[in-house]
Structure 1
Amino acid sequence: MDNTDKLIELFKEFPGIGPRQAKRFVYFLLNRNPSYANNLAKLVTEVRATVHSCDTCFRFFPNGNSSTCTICSDENRDKTSLMLVSHDVDFENIERTKFYNGYYFIIGGSIPILEKDPEKRIRQKELLNTIEKRIGEGLSEIIIALNYNPEGENTLSYLKEILTRLNLVSKVKISTLGRGLSTGTELEYSDSDTIKNA
């Protein structure tokens, strides 16, 4: 396998990228002037060095000198609500609507329907620790905002099951997004008005 094939294989690991698109990326880079590829490599390295995961909600942010993002360290946000989303792009889309003023937790993915070890697909331990901590700070509602597709629905069922099993449903209200989202919808591609009405 030569370097071109290795790069194609790396691009195929990107979400939603198949073999044809991966090849297009490689040939696009080969057709650009060498400084473009150098700049891309430099930026990837810099992003990896300067963007970190928040210790509290696990979203990526340019950390500066803090281990906690600006959302989690904002004392003016609504302490009574915690919204669970799969990925950073979902967080960004919801935050952009400016309709929600509580805190977030990025669960880190979704659970495929036939998954044998669902707890390995999401940040289950960290989530439960966060919920317990937030309950002590006044948390009264958890909003589960996941993609409205089979994996999202399976993840929703799993989360409700573990929250019930640990008796957390007696301490907090569990809500989900509903109205305005059609089956198969991914939050990443939903517009602000649709999310506001969900």
Structure 2
Amino acid sequence: MSLDPINELAELFRRLPGIGPRQAKRFVYYLLNADPATVTKLTDLLGRLRSQVKQCPDCQIYFASDNKNERCITCRDTTRDHSLLMIMEKDVDLEPMRRAGVYSGYYFFLGGLVPILDKEPARRVRLAALLRLIESKNKELKEIIIALATNGEGENTVDYLRQSLKSLVEKYDLKLSLLGRGLSTNSELEYTDPETISYAFKNRG
């Protein structure tokens, strides 16, 4: 037996990151009291997410597409530094790095982190796509920078990447570095200020 529409929608909202049951219910009641135009607009935008947003085959970021370009604007930018590749967890981590204004290379987004003691880490991150990208950039790529959260899962993912990338790093004589001091323990890039990111980037190693 299905839930009533209020509880069913609240259950869907609860699947969003950081949303608890009370917040989920608030969203539902907001929509119930909103003017019809707002609800119609929301419905339209949700539909367009599927039809007008693509995932870049190179860096894996989601971007609004005009159907003329298969790759995102960053991966299409030939003026960026081809010798640098930064690995980040998720799309929203990109904005703080952009605001810091210290990085001019390319990106790759893992789509998640590897939990400690996870038995199938390759299912948690986009490792196969990352390996393909590194292979395709091997002639110009010089350094891979890992920029992940400084919590347990982030550190575990760093260890997993070191092991997974070891053969390619040695094969192409690549430098593998981490963001330096400045990022406090358990911090996430998404919530880190540009000054801290700038310092951590300049002191990577």
TM-score, normalised relative to structure 1: 0.94
Cα distance per residue 1:63-93 (max 9 Å; x no partner) = 2110011111111110111000010001222
| Contact 2:9-2:28 at 8 Å conserved across structures | yes
Structure 1 partner of 2:203: none
How many Å separate the matches in 1 of 2:32 and 2:190? 30
CA shift for structure 1 position 34:
2.4
| Contact 2:169-2:176 at 8 Å conserved across structures | no
How many Å separate the matches in 1 of 2:106 and 2:65? 18
* Structure 1 residues without counterparts, runs of 5 or longer: none
1:97 to 100, 106, 122: 100
Structure 1 partner of 2:44: 42
CA shift for structure 1 position 2:
0.8
Cα distance per residue 1:12-66 (max 9 Å; x no partner) = 1111112121111111211222221111111121233212111111111112110
1:106 to 93, 105, 109: 109
Give matches, 1:39-188, under 5 Å.
39-64=41-66, 65-136=68-139, 138-164=140-166, 166-169=167-170, 171-188=173-190
- What SS does the aligned partner of 1:56 have? coil
How many Å separate the matches in 1 of 2:197 and 2:57? 26
Report the aligned-residue RMSD: 1.3
How many Å separate the matches in 1 of 2:95 and 2:45? 21
The sequence identity of aligned pairs, in percent, is 47
* Range that drifts further, 73-82 or 27-36: 27-36
* Structure 2 residues without counterparts, runs of 5 or longer: 201-205
Which one-letter code corresponds to 2:99 in the other structure? R
TM-score, normalised relative to structure 2: 0.91
